[in-house]
């Protein structure tokens, strides 16, 4: 059997064994067999609408599309707006006699795209027989039969993050309506439009509409499944602070020969500054960085030990000869804070390189926070560290006078506010209930104290006093946030089954 | 008086005082007054032909253009070719009874261009009243009168480096023909077409055509004048080795949240590697880097002391609060070897940044060599240093297996061979003769043991056994190699006077 991806064998077995113990999931499988092509067509239409967070006109078209998706299914839906924020699309199903409310959250905006890097345009959804790097070939959508190869991949920005979850929820509603299943809870749908910009307005919009958004539990249908393709439940997420640091050489690029050795080299300055922030093992050297970290509970530690260790397989798949923080496993290291360089730029390299001393050098950093760490305080610690390396730190582009009067100048930009980290206790009754449904539908689940990525959980919990649990449905190898983002079709089918069951909880 | 650039006042005075003591220079000034517009038009036509070194079709058009320029002036000219090398355009004036031969060298190829960075397209020559950063406004060429503001700037790739010197030589020939001046030496013209690629074929082409290119002295009309705008004579140049270093993380970009702390971060690895190569003062920390440096002679040391110190003015002009290697001056530090980072790239920064761990990080390095240092040996020392930092070094893109089986992998690319450094003794008789002519025409000259930049002097001296002296004519603030390269018009006029005098030596 051709190796498709990590643990594909495990998946196929568990998928066949599942669903049958939950009537909603069973109905979903039966319904899906008859509606594969229609679901895919609706998703393709949805993915064809560009959705980069700051593209306001396109974001508006997405919001209108989602309102229509819900309206077609008999759900009252409308955009909730506030000032210049991208709208939250809200929808509701009131269930007579229900004593609790479950909110389903996903976001419809996507990360920026660098079109030239994509194998096919990011907003021209393209189905391929397999992943690109396994030689997947394009399948013209018009040529599709009524059934779709479950190992095919659909390539588009937000194919996984998060338009597939929204589509799966809509299909799950179709299932429930057609099969005449009874809901037990009130259901709310909350589709955010600026999650990829770190949800700058979510907390304030929830605060202004507390009653509308109130729920006993928010289920977050975001993020990837486990690398083994086993079902996965996250009880929290890391927080995040993004900052760009720019350091300066001369006003213009200078001839590297004529001025090399004399004009300060910002690329070297930046290299030395970044090198001072972390050691080779990924340990952050910034004063106080770990001070406020809240330790894991015994339950959480046990969950990490119980999680399957996939590090060796993942290393082989990713062509890695080592990992940071080894021998700690992936499941463990993501419960620690991190400092990641997500990009470097200074003049040019490769064919476009010319023989100059660069004028500036910029690094884009991500601080991944864990429970206990305050975003603003953590950012300040980084800024203090930069000062300790001899930099005069400015918050706006430095003037010529500032540059002339300091040996080293750093511009630290933090355009977006930070997001805090959350961990929901894994032994709450509602947590156990979610675990039971997921495992009944999809088999034994991996349960982790937090995902490595960021979700706006704190912005939901603070204003509403609710709990959040994250139930992903998409494949782990989806290239989320990067180019060639994709969805494995089987994950969409499995997601419909799981969400039908969770809608009936 | 408006401040135009460093030391502009000095220039205007010295320019008025000069020329009159040399008949050829005097004739040149008189001729130029009547021919400014024609010279500029011919130069603009020349600059309109793209000339990036690797653009072979465009390079061919440049070579043909130069052959025509010389033919129009009655000079036998032809392209000299070898294999796939860009042609050298060769021309010759035989002077009856002459006992020596002087070769004039310049190159007609240009550095790559990043069009989007230019204020006007690099191959659409644009005249401006002043430098762009001093508010210079575009002067339509069609609207030019017979005389041109000498402080105007002409923007185009190679406006200074080196098409202006070629144009100035052609104009100087016009002067000599029209004024009926007698030449004393045989004259050869050598215009190279791949200097910006570090002259990969120059030595072998000279070796194959030793007699054709033989001369008692090669005058190199390349590089910028002194920052005070005083005339300048360089008796050598630094050598150069360029190399790109790429280090590796995972096969693809990974979500920074989900894998941050676990997947090795190539941007951080690169920062730590570069930081290990130099200290904050620019001192190179690579084992043996300085071992073979040949010390300066007493004459050379005295020349550096005698050179005007322009460091403070230059720092103000370039918005610098410090320099590397201070308190040593610019004139001194360029006689030392340097390691310059000319570019950094890893994923993306700014608006295009997404939250990933980069897959690769690349630095483009320049090693500036001084006399005594061997290019290949110096490169090997850098490679050994990279190995000493724990890297497995490869010379081709590493395979997945190589990446899986090593903790750290670095791909070191050195596409172009290196160029050695040269210093011609400053007290040779022919050196004194050149100094005397330059000072008679343009006033007291700055004399430096070597320029900071690189010229293919070793590739000329080795096969021909000749000496080289470099006599630049263009403005120091010409943005050579970067975007918005430009020529100050007065430098073109002064250059015609100087070259007319040197043609008559």
Nearest to A349 among B244, B275, B319 (CB): B244
Structure tokens at A147: 């059934």
Of all residues in chain A, the percent with pLDDT exceeding 90 is 88
Range of weakest confidence among A32-36, B320-324, B413-417, B481-485: B413-417
Terminal C-alpha separation, chain A? 38
Cβ atoms of residues A214 and A466 within 8 Å: yes
Residue A415 has pLDDT above 80, yes or no: no
Structure tokens at B470: 């470099």
Which among A267, A380, A356 has a CA at the least distance from the CA of B267? A267
Spell out which residues of chain A touch residue B272, defining contact as CB-CB under 8 Å. Answer: 271, 274-275, 280
Torsion from C-alpha of A234, B359, B112, B235, nearest 10 degrees: 130
- Spatial separation of the C-alpha atoms in residues A370 and A69, rounded to whole Å: 36
Chain B residue closest to A224 (CA)? B258
Chain B residue closest to A389 (CA)? B280
- In 3-state terms, what secondary structure has residue A8? helix
Contacts (Cβ under 8 Å, ≥6 apart) of A449: A235, A236, A296, A300, A303, A304, A335, A423, A426
Residue B174 has pLDDT above 80, yes or no: yes
Of all residues in chain B, the percent with pLDDT exceeding 90 is 88
Q: Class assignment of domain A8-237+421-503? A: alpha beta
Spell out which residues of chain A touch residue B261, defining contact as CB-CB under 8 Å. Answer: 282, 324-325, 333-334, 336-338, 340, 368, 452
Q: Residues B114-125: what's their mean pLDDT?
A: 96
- Spatial separation of the C-alpha atoms in residues A137 and A128, rounded to whole Å: 5
What is A239-305+331-413's CATH number, 3.30.70.360, 3.40.50.10540, 2.60.40.10, 3.40.190.10? 3.30.70.360
Residue B3 or residue B79, greater confidence: B79
The per-residue pLDDT of chain B, averaged, comes to 93
A8-57 pLDDT per residue, tens:
333 333 444 455 579 999 999 999 999 999 999 999 999 999 999 999 99
Category of B452 on φ-ψ map: left (φ > 0), alpha (ψ -120 to 50) or beta: alpha
Residue A453 or residue A361, greater confidence: A361
- Spatial separation of the C-alpha atoms in residues B500 and B105, rounded to whole Å: 15
Chain A residue closest to B321 (CA)? A404
Whether residue B355 and residue A260 make contact (CB cut-off 8 A), yes or no, is no
- Spatial separation of the C-alpha atoms in residues B474 and A225, rounded to whole Å: 63
Q: What is the pLDDT of residue A429?
A: 96
- Spatial separation of the C-alpha atoms in residues B32 and A237, rounded to whole Å: 74
Q: What is the pLDDT of residue B327?
A: 92
Nearest to A261 among B242, B325, B362 (CB): B325
Residue B14 has pLDDT above 80, yes or no: no
Model pTM score: 0.83
Q: Residues B201-205: what's their mean pLDDT?
A: 97
CA torsion sign, B271 to B273 to B276 to B281?
negative
Q: What is the pLDDT of residue B253?
A: 94
- Spatial separation of the C-alpha atoms in residues B189 and B208, rounded to whole Å: 17
Distance from CA of A261 to the nearest CA of B (A): 5
Spell out which residues of chain A touch residue B345, defining contact as CB-CB under 8 Å. Answer: 344-346, 348-350
pLDDT band at B8 (very low <50, low <70, confident <90, very high): very low
Q: Residues A432-452: what's their mean pLDDT?
A: 95
Which among B103, B257, B113 has a CA at the least distance from the CA of B185? B103
Range of weakest confidence among A295-299, B138-142, B385-389: B138-142
Cβ atoms of residues A256 and B340 within 8 Å: yes
- Spatial separation of the C-alpha atoms in residues B273 and B408, rounded to whole Å: 11
What is B239-293+336-413's CATH number, 3.30.70.360, 3.40.50.1970, 3.90.25.10, 3.40.50.300? 3.30.70.360
Structure tokens at B248: 């590796």
Which among A265, A229, A455 has a CA at the least distance from the CA of A360? A265
Chain B residue closest to A409 (CA)? B321
Nearest to A451 among B258, B333, B342 (CB): B258
Q: How many helices (H) and strands (E) does chain B have?
A: 16, 21
Spell out which residues of chain A touch residue B356, defining contact as CB-CB under 8 Å. Answer: 342, 481-482
Residue A4 has pLDDT above 70, yes or no: no
Distance from CA of A346 to the nearest CA of B (A): 5
Spell out which residues of chain A touch residue B160, defining contact as CB-CB under 8 Å. Answer: none
Quick one: DSSP state of residue A110? B
A8-237+421-503 against A239-305+331-413: fold identical: no
B434-465 pLDDT per residue, tens:
999 999 999 999 999 999 998 999 999 999 99
> Which residues does residue B384 pair with via DSSP β-bridges, in sequence order?
none
Q: What is the pLDDT of residue A16?
A: 44
The per-residue pLDDT of chain A, averaged, comes to 93
Structure tokens at A51: 């959705």
Residue B187 has pLDDT above 70, yes or no: yes
Nearest to B263 among A114, A318, A363 (CB): A318
Q: Residues A429-437: what's their mean pLDDT?
A: 96
Q: What is the pLDDT of residue B282?
A: 84
Q: Residues B38-58: what's their mean pLDDT?
A: 97
Spell out which residues of chain A touch residue B324, defining contact as CB-CB under 8 Å. Answer: 261-265
Q: What is the pLDDT of residue A146?
A: 81
Q: What is the pLDDT of residue A20?
A: 59
Which among B318, B469, B2, B184 has a CA at the least distance from the CA of A404? B318
- Spatial separation of the C-alpha atoms in residues B139 and B137, rounded to whole Å: 6
Query: What is this model's ipTM?
Result: 0.83
Distance from CA of A358 to the nearest CA of B (A): 6
Whether residue B482 and residue A354 make contact (CB cut-off 8 A), yes or no, is yes
Could you identify the residue written with the tokens 């050098």? A361
Residue in A281, A354, A402, A409 to test binding to B, most B beta-carbons within 10 Å: A354
A193-243 pLDDT per residue, tens:
999 988 999 999 999 999 999 999 999 999 899 988 899 999 999 999 999
Could you identify the residue written with the tokens 């590397």? B324
Spell out which residues of chain B touch residue A309, defining contact as CB-CB under 8 Å. Answer: none
Cβ atoms of residues B77 and B170 within 8 Å: no
Spell out which residues of chain A touch residue B112, defining contact as CB-CB under 8 Å. Answer: 351-354
Residue A77 has pLDDT above 50, yes or no: yes
CATH of domain B8-237+431-466+474-503: 3.40.630.10
Q: What is the pLDDT of residue A19?
A: 53
Stated as kind and residue range, the H or E segment containing A215 is none
Residue A250 has pLDDT above 70, yes or no: yes
Burial class (CB in 10 A: 0-12, 13-18, 19+), A99: exposed
Q: What is the pLDDT of residue A24?
A: 96
A380-409 pLDDT per residue, tens:
999 999 999 999 999 999 999 999 999 999
Residue B11 has pLDDT above 70, yes or no: no
- Spatial separation of the C-alpha atoms in residues B501 and B435, rounded to whole Å: 12
Q: Give the start-to-end residue ranges of the domains of chain B.
A: 8-237+431-466+474-503, 239-293+336-413
Cβ atoms of residues B387 and B296 within 8 Å: no
Distance from CA of B260 to the nearest CA of A (A): 6
Distance from CA of B417 to the nearest CA of A (A): 15
Residue B19 has pLDDT above 60, yes or no: no
A295-319 pLDDT per residue, tens:
999 999 999 999 999 999 999 999 9
Whether residue A353 and residue B342 make contact (CB cut-off 8 A), yes or no, is yes
Burial class (CB in 10 A: 0-12, 13-18, 19+), B486: buried
Q: What is the pLDDT of residue B12?
A: 37
| CA-to-CA dists, residue B472 to A175, A179, B39, B434, B438, angstroms | 80, 86, 19, 12, 11
| CA-to-CA dists, residue A415 to A82, A200, B30, B217, angstroms | 20, 10, 60, 60
Whether residue A257 and residue B454 make contact (CB cut-off 8 A), yes or no, is yes
A355-371 pLDDT per residue, tens:
899 999 999 999 999 99
Spell out which residues of chain B touch residue A249, defining contact as CB-CB under 8 Å. Answer: 320
Spell out which residues of chain A touch residue B133, defining contact as CB-CB under 8 Å. Answer: 251-252
- Spatial separation of the C-alpha atoms in residues B165 and B163, rounded to whole Å: 5
Residue A121 has pLDDT above 80, yes or no: yes
| CA-to-CA dists, residue B36 to A267, B13, B167, B474, angstroms | 43, 21, 12, 17
Residue in A113, A196, A268 to test binding to B, most B beta-carbons within 10 Å: A268
- Spatial separation of the C-alpha atoms in residues B27 and B36, rounded to whole Å: 14
Whether residue B344 and residue A342 make contact (CB cut-off 8 A), yes or no, is no
Whether residue A342 and residue B319 make contact (CB cut-off 8 A), yes or no, is no
Stated as kind and residue range, the H or E segment containing A189 is strand A186-192
Of all residues in chain A, the percent with pLDDT exceeding 70 is 96
Q: Which DSSP string corresponds to A316-361?
A: HHTT-S--TTTTS-HHHHTTS-EEEEEEEEEE--GGG--SEE-SEE
Spell out which residues of chain A touch residue B248, defining contact as CB-CB under 8 Å. Answer: 319
């Amino acid at each position: 059997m051709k190796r498709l991806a990590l643990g594909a064998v495990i998946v196929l077995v568990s998928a066949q064994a599942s669903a049958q113990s939950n009537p909603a999931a069973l109905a979903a499988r039966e319904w899906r067999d008859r509606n594969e092509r229609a679901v895919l067509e609706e998703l393709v239409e949805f993915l064809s609408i560009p959705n980069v967070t700051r593209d306001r006109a396109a974001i508006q078209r997405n919001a209108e599309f989602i309102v229509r998706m819900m309206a077609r299914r008999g759900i009252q839906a409308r955009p909730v707006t506030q000032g210049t924020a991208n709208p939250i699309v809200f929808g509701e199903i009131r269930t007579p006699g229900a004593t609790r409310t479950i909110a389903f959250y996903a976001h419809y905006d996507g990360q920026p795209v660098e079109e030239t890097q994509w194998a096919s345009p990011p907003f021209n959804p393209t189905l391929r027989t397999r992943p690109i790097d396994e030689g997947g070939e394009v399948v013209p959508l018009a040529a599709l039969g009524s059934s779709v190869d479950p190992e095919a991949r659909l390539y588009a920005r937000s194919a996984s993050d998060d338009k597939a979850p929204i589509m799966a929820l809509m299909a799950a509603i179709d299932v429930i309506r057609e099969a005449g299943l009874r809901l037990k809870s009130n259901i709310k749908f909350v589709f955010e439009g600026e999650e990829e910009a770190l949800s700058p307005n979510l907390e304030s919009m929830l605060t202004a509409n507390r009653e509308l958004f109130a729920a006993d539990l928010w289920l977050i249908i975001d993020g990837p499944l486990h690398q083994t393709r086993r079902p996965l439940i996250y009880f929290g997420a890391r927080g995040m602070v993004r900052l760009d640091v720019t350091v300066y050489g001369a006003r213009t690029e200078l001839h590297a020969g004529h001025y090399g050795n004399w004009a300060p080299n910002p690329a070297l300055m930046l290299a030395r500054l970044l090198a001072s922030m972390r050691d080779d093992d990924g340990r952050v050297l910034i004063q106080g960085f770990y001070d406020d970290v809240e330790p894991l509970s015994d339950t959480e530690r046990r969950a990490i030990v119980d999680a399957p260790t996939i590090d060796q397989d993942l290393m082989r798949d990713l062509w890695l000869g080592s990992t940071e923080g080894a021998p700690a496993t992936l499941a463990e290291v993501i419960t620690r804070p991190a400092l990641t360089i997500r990009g470097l730029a200074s003049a040019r390299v490769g064919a476009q390189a010319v023989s100059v001393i660069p004028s500036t050098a910029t690094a884009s950093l991500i601080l991944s926070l864990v429970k206990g760490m305050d975003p603003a305080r953590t950012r300040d610690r980084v800024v203090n560290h930069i000062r300790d390396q001899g930099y005069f730190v400015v918050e706006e582009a430095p003037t010529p006078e500032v540059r002339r009067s300091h040996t080293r100048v750093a511009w630290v930009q933090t355009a977006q506010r930070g997001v805090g980290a959350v961990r929901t206790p894994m032994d709450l009754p509602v947590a156990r209930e979610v675990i039971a449904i997921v495992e009944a539908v999809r088999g034994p689940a991996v349960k982790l104290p937090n995902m490595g990525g960021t979700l706006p959980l704190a912005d939901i919990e603070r204003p509403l006093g609710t709990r959040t649990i994250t139930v992903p449905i998409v494949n782990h190898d989806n290239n989320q946030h990067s180019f060639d983002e994709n969805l494995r079709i089987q994950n969409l089918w499995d997601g419909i089954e799981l969400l039908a069951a969770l809608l009936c909880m």
